[in-house]
Structure 1
Amino acid sequence: MLARPAFKEQVIRTMATAYEADLLHAAHPGQPEIHSFTSRRSTVMGTRGMVAASQPLAAEAGMRILQQGGNAADAAVAVAAALNVTEPNMTGIGGDAFALYYSAKDRTVSAIMGNGHSPGNLTLEAVREKGIKGTELPPYSPLCITVPGAAALWEDLVKEHGSKSMQDVLQPAIELAEGGFPVSPITARLWAGHREQLLQGGGYTFLNEDKSTPKYGQLFRNPDLAQTFRTLAEQGAQAGFYKGRIADAIVEEVQSRGGLLTHDDLASHRSLFTRPITTSYRGLRVHEIPPPTQGMAALMAFNSLELDEQLRERRWGSAEHLHSAIEAMRLAFSDTLAYCADPQSVNVPIDDLLSKQYAKQRRAKLFKPDKAAEIHPGDPSLDFSSDERRPGGDTVYFCTADGQGNACSFINSNYMGFGTGIVPQGCGFSLQNRGQGFIIDPKHPNCIGPHKRPYHTIIPGMVTDANGELFAAFGVMGGFMQPQGHLQVLSNMVDFGMDPQTALDAPRFALGGVDSVEGPSCVSQSSVLLEEGFEDGVSKQLRQLGHHVESPLSRGARQVFGRGQIIRRNPKTGLLAGGSDPRADGQVLGW
């Protein structure tokens, strides 16, 4: 198995705290093990609206907006802001965000990309002058701070598709931040794993007076964040976040720590309105965010798995079923880690990579039903050196739907926990470390560079049927698990007939050791992590096929398999059916 960098191993262990026995009860000593998975959840149904989120108070914020006359876009921003309050160890306005929006009126899916670019002074030479060696930036370095794109996206989503004011949609989050909220059990435990990161970054906003992290059930307040939200609502994103008091605080904090972000970098940021990239799967249309996100990995995996004509006849969870899906994912990651980069800086061969013919060639050449293949990137025969430019860890995913048939698939992230853990003075949020997604290799299209957007792990998903009607808004958060989660939960529904909650409850596999800063070579050396719950003997059978399988993971270790949400819609009846991942504190609210 490829050895992961020490800090990456630390991040994985933070997400999966059951690896560390002394953290099992750290959130609230004396309480029962909160990852025992002894309860069950039913699929939630409704007709007038639905919110599926990883934290109940955030789901309530979105539902409140729906019941006040808002639509799916309004509700989505309300949830995003509320999650910034209640799960700051996963998300925030100091990070990036992406949204897919389904408009029932014209049956179209549009995309808004809220991923900020790197500082204009972040050149390869500047990085080397800072003494950085190897192929990646230190994870919590201020050099990893790219322009936070979430604030602009929140505002743009409401302006483009919403019906309420920013003051309306941010009000529930403002109330939570000022009045306080009780910290959820899983959130408390993951928060505890980031204490040293916060101390290192000066993120005392997220610590108690004694520098401990909030405990399960503790009432926690963040008045600085409430004021940030008020400023955003009153002044707008450009004047109130990317300029003015908040921008001054960001630049001062970053530069005081040796970072390169400037006022000009912040002021030049704009969201990108674009079309999703898509592919067909079993008669459905799957929509993902374009590069530099890894949405292309999910689509390539669907193209490959669709070629398994016997998949639906296989027993779910059998070695044959898992081997086919694992190999589809390995093929997809190999190409994604070779070619995925900012299409405004380099030429990304996305059309060629997503073609059905390319998938057939790759699977015919490399897939072996009785053996794990030695997988390398394919060659779409395109030149990255061309001057032609085409427009193009830790995360929360949620989705919303309204009674008119609109839906929003939304994802927001700081990246590794609190990102860098660096908090601008008086702002109440931490700054992301998305620049850590760059690879320091001048021959690679995702090489670090100025005004460039790094490889991005976070991806929301959307599915429509042959008539263009909404089938589902769905997603699975969690670093490089995300396209793997998309493949598994959608296949669970489409190929094996599972309802949304069952599709999320089902055990998953994950490729361990896959990482953008390692490049495509890590795929052939990746391990296969299996979640507890698969039938006896599957691990042994997969090992016999040549997979490097790690023992089934249970309890808190299940965090490495991501945390998802799904809302499905019946186009004939308007019935909404939602599921929320049991690996998180989440909840679905139907109306």
Structure 2
Amino acid sequence: MVSSANPLASLAGVDVLRAGGNAMDAAIAAMAVLGVVESLNLGLGGDCFALYAPGGGSEIIAYNGSGRAPAAAQADWYRSRGFAEIPAAGPHGVTVPGAVEAWDRLAADHGTCGLDELLRPAIHYADEGYPVHDVIASWWPADVEKLRADPEAARILLWDGQPPAAGTIHRQPDLAQTLRRIGRERSAGFYTGPVADSIVRHLRAKGGLHTLEDFAGHKGEYVTPISLDYRGYRVHECPPNGQGIAALIMLGILRDFDLSAFDPRGADRFHLAIEAGRLAIRDRDRLVGDPETAGDWRKLLEPVYLSSQRAKIDLACAAPPVPPASLPMGRDTCHVAVVDRDCNAVSLIASVFYNFGSGLVAPGTGVVLQNRGCGFVLTPHHPNEIGPRKRPLHTIIPALVSHAGRISHSLGVVGGHYQAWGHTQVVTNLVDYGYDVQEAIDAPRVFHNGANVELEPGLAPEVRTELTRRQHRVVDVSETSMGRLGGGQLIAIDWEKGTLAGAADRRLDGCALGY
């Protein structure tokens, strides 16, 4: 089974499985297709993280495919030029993209197919075209001005200066050529040679600090996953520089509350989630960054510390304000969940951060460049302060859930800051309330965005009234710039029946497909 945010990607993954490929092969093929058909969300110019459970066992393999800042990226360089933050648009937010290296490494180490074979569906859609799906078409207009500012981005991603409408056939032949080169030369075809040369020249022409050496030297890495027990289920996340630790903190705070005693769509349940989430995001922003330079974030999962945070929650009233989340509010990500015939399970996530990332496209390559670097801060001595070859704090997080020593779920929820909240809400939907996989993904969501509590449609009016009475500042999602709270994919393994159950979020264009 494959679940993704677009039916063309899900179908590509299923085709790989039916042809004999394994879960890692299918996940990479599906993600590469998403990089074409949802290029505002992800692509060759973005980053990725992966969790992989061979045979569905609880020994989890994690890969950090996030890129680094240029070697010349000294914080004082930005401060001396009057930067108060790293800009979201333009060259300074561009870190070296990590996705291509990660796909290459994961396919070589854990797949059964060559990268050239896995990229064929993406090449087909880039060359022959794909129909722009409804949700993606509805987001595209918000970034017209950003795309117009870069002639190459405007040439490829706008038609006569306007975004393509839903149902329009969109082709990206330059991107197809880059994908072919990667298929032939593997990651070297991206990080060295003409593609890297075009990217670096474009960035430097815009004032960036990037060099060919920054690209040629890029490597992702295998990392040790982090996990936490939640009522007999173990939730596995990638460690920092991702924010998976925030999801574990939230679950660790909530596990001593009897959530099953509360209405799953009631104010009590959401009040507790809001309060736990505010504490978790405060700690994320305070201590999480590149693990090579950040502080001791491991203490955040210690039982004594979690108990101390739990004691700060008053069921009757919101706590005083905590510092707002410092990370910019990029929300554009894609996740793929896959389980194959041997119960190998993959949770793979990728992103260019904001819609169309930095708004820059390297000439002749079709590569939309991410803006993950705007996740850095310029506060001196902060763990997430920008620095040479550092990786920024990331919002994107894959997850796997195990029970009794075997994987029970492959899970991902997209949506920037919301992702840690999404993991928490979906897991509690499954474990505390017994929702099936589609119910768990589709249920109305609540999110504290640093200032306000966002409520999705579908909750009773009394929920808003009661949360307001408890001193929360509540707004409807339709009143925010987001227009939705994330998306998500989920596959459950029923080991007794020998079956899979899949779900894809109604908030997106995708579907779960299996056979």
What is the TM-score normalised by the length of structure 2? 0.96
Q: 1:544 to 1:178 in 2, by over 3 A?
A: same
| Paired-residue identity, % | 41
Q: 2:283 is matched with which residue?
A: 335
Find the aligned partners of 2:478 and 2:510 in 1 and give their Cα distance.
19
Q: 1:326 is matched with which residue?
A: 274
Q: 2:513 is matched with which residue?
A: 589
Could you tell me which amino acid in structure 1 is paired with residue 248 of structure 2? L
Task: Describe the SS at the equivalent of 1:104.
Answer: helix
Could you tell me which amino acid in structure 1 is paired with residue 373 of structure 2? G
Task: From 121, 142, 147, give the equivalent of 1:193.
Answer: 142
Tell whether the 8 Å contact from 1:51 to 1:62 is kept in structure 2 after alignment.
yes
* 1:155 is the counterpart of 2:79: no
Q: 2:305 is matched with which residue?
A: 358
Q: 2:202 is matched with which residue?
A: 253
Q: 1:235 is matched with which residue?
A: 185
Task: Describe the SS at the equivalent of 2:40.
Answer: coil
Task: Encode CA deviations 1:158-199: one digit per residue, 9 max, x unaligned.
Answer: 111111111111111111111111110111111122111111
Q: 2:318 is matched with which residue?
A: 372
* 1:570 is the counterpart of 2:507: no
**Matched residue pairs, number?**
507
Task: Describe the SS at the equivalent of 2:136.
Answer: helix
Tell whether the 8 Å contact from 1:63 to 1:75 is kept in structure 2 after alignment.
yes
Tell whether the 8 Å contact from 2:196 to 2:215 is kept in structure 1 after alignment.
yes
Q: 1:381 is matched with which residue?
A: none
Q: 1:19 is matched with which residue?
A: none
Q: 1:536 is matched with which residue?
A: 461
Q: 1:544 to 1:71 in 2, by over 3 A?
A: same
Find the aligned partners of 1:307 and 1:349 in 2 and give their Cα distance.
24
Find the aligned partners of 2:242 and 2:185 in 1 and give their Cα distance.
30
Find the aligned partners of 2:237 and 2:122 in 1 and give their Cα distance.
28
Q: 1:375 to 1:209 in 2, by over 3 A?
A: closer
* CA apart distance, 1:108: 1.5
Task: Encode CA deviations 1:335-361: one digit per residue, 9 max, x unaligned.
Answer: 111101111123x32321111221111
Find the aligned partners of 1:167 and 1:236 in 2 and give their Cα distance.
8
Tell whether the 8 Å contact from 2:56 to 2:406 is kept in structure 1 after alignment.
no
Find the aligned partners of 1:119 and 1:402 in 2 and give their Cα distance.
38
**Ranges in structure 1 where 5+ consecutive residues have no aligned partner:** 1-49, 378-392, 514-525
Task: From 415, 434, 437, give the equivalent of 2:375.
Answer: 437
Find the aligned partners of 1:193 and 1:284 in 2 and give their Cα distance.
40
Task: Describe the SS at the equivalent of 2:461.
Answer: coil
Q: 1:390 is matched with which residue?
A: none
Q: 1:499 is matched with which residue?
A: 436
* CA apart distance, 1:311: 1.1
Task: From 104, 110, 127, give the equivalent of 2:78.
Answer: 127
Could you tell me which amino acid in structure 1 is paired with residue 509 of structure 2? D
Find the aligned partners of 1:325 and 1:317 in 2 and give their Cα distance.
12
Task: From 267, 284, 295, give the equivalent of 2:244.
Answer: 295
**Ranges in structure 2 where 5+ consecutive residues have no aligned partner:** 324-330
Find the aligned partners of 2:158 and 2:302 in 1 and give their Cα distance.
52
Task: Encode CA deviations 1:408-456: one digit per residue, 9 max, x unaligned.
Answer: 1011100111111111111112100101001110031111111100110
Find the aligned partners of 1:105 and 1:137 in 2 and give their Cα distance.
41
Task: From 61, 68, 73, give the equivalent of 2:19.
Answer: 68
Task: From 221, 224, 230, give the equivalent of 2:171.
Answer: 221
Tell whether the 8 Å contact from 1:81 to 1:173 is kept in structure 2 after alignment.
yes
RMSD between superposed Cα atoms in Å? 1.5
Please give the residue correspondences for 1:7-406 in structure 2 after superposition, counting only pairs within 5 Å. 50-104=1-55, 107-132=58-83, 134=84, 136-202=85-151, 203-237=153-187, 239-308=188-257, 310-346=258-294, 348-364=295-311, 366-374=312-320, 393-406=331-344
Find the aligned partners of 2:334 and 2:479 in 1 and give their Cα distance.
20
Tell whether the 8 Å contact from 1:198 to 1:206 is kept in structure 2 after alignment.
no
Find the aligned partners of 1:194 and 1:167 in 2 and give their Cα distance.
32
* CA apart distance, 1:554: 4.9
* CA apart distance, 1:109: 1.1
Q: 1:454 is matched with which residue?
A: 392
